[in-house]
């Protein structure tokens, strides 16, 4: 087994050799999720002992797997190569295919750490209240006010804002007294608050 592993390692390290017509290989899928990439491949032509090897472009390799996964240490764009060989006939069967993949932590960080907070002060209020909201990341923010029947009575904001605390005033002298719903959206996050106009 040790001898076979050595042969495969040597053959894989020679994966940049042009493919022999007897063998072909293709990467059929590279799916990044955060820093992890799931890879699939398909090779053909090996007559005796087919084997696969992956070079992830960051000095790491995976041997003896047609489909494999790898987790990178840091975000970036990497060249991923799969080599397909016949272990007992590498001179006539040695093919390589390469593709690039970009991995990032952005989506994971936002999903785990994004925070949205909002409220209106004073509440209850007269003709004016201030909507104070906080976002942990730069975001597209929409702030709207609805009545009890679900009808929109005011649109206070629809813009991209920086991370931090912000204030938007609602001047509502023409709006009747009653209960309203304040809706603050930031990306996929939504907060609804009841506000009462005296």
Domain ranges in the chain?
2-108, 114-197
CATH architecture entry for 114-197: Sandwich (2.60)
Residue labelled with tokens 């022999």: 20
Q: What secondary structure, in 3-state letters, does the chain show?
A: CHHHHHHHHHHHHCCCCCCCCCCEEEEEEEEEECCEEEEEEEEECCCCCEEEEEECCCCCEEECCCCEEEECCCCEEEEEEEEEEECCCCCCCEEEEEEEEEECCHHHHHHHHCCEEEEEECCCECCEEEEEEEECCCEEEEEEEECCCCCEEEEEEEEEECCEEEEEEEECCCCCCEEEEEEEEECCEEEEEEEEEC
Digit-coded pLDDT (tens) for 16-63? 434 444 899 999 999 998 889 999 999 999 888 899 999 999 989 888
CATH 2.60.40.10 fits 2-108, yes or no: yes
| Cis check: omega of the bond before 122, within 30 degrees of 0 | yes
Q: Tell me if 2-108 shares its fold with 114-197.
A: yes
Among 40-44, 102-106, 151-155, whose mean pLDDT is lowest? 102-106
Which pLDDT does position 113 carry in this prediction?
Answer: 64
Q: Residue range 148-175: average pLDDT? A: 91
Which of the four pLDDT bands, split at 50, 70 and 90, describes residue 4? very low
Q: Which of 130, 165, 104, 151 is nearest to 186 (CA)?
A: 165
């Amino acid at each position: 087994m040790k001898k076979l592993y050595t042969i495969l390692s040597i053959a894989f390290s020679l994966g940049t050799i042009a493919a022999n017509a007897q063998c072909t290989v293709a990467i059929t899928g590279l799916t990044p999720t955060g820093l992890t990439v799931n890879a699939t491949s398909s090779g053909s032509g090996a007559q005796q002992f087919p084997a696969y090897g992956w070079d992830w472009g960051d000095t790491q390799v995976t041997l003896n797997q047609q489909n494999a996964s790898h987790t990178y240490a840091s975000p970036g764009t990497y060249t991923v190569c799969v080599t397909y060989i016949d272990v007992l006939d590498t001179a006539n069967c040695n093919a390589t295919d390469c593709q690039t993949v970009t991995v990032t932590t952005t989506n994971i960080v936002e999903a785990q750490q994004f925070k949205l907070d909002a409220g209106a002060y004073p509440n209850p209020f007269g003709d004016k209240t201030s909507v104070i909201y906080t976002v942990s990341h730069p975001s597209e923010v929409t702030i709207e006010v609805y009545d009890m029947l679900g009808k929109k009575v005011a649109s206070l904001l629809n813009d991209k804002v920086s991370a931090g605390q912000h204030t938007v005033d609602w001047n509502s002298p023409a709006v009747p007294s009653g209960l309203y719903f304040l809706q603050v959206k930031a990306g996929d996050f939504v907060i609804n608050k009841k506000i009462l106009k005296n």
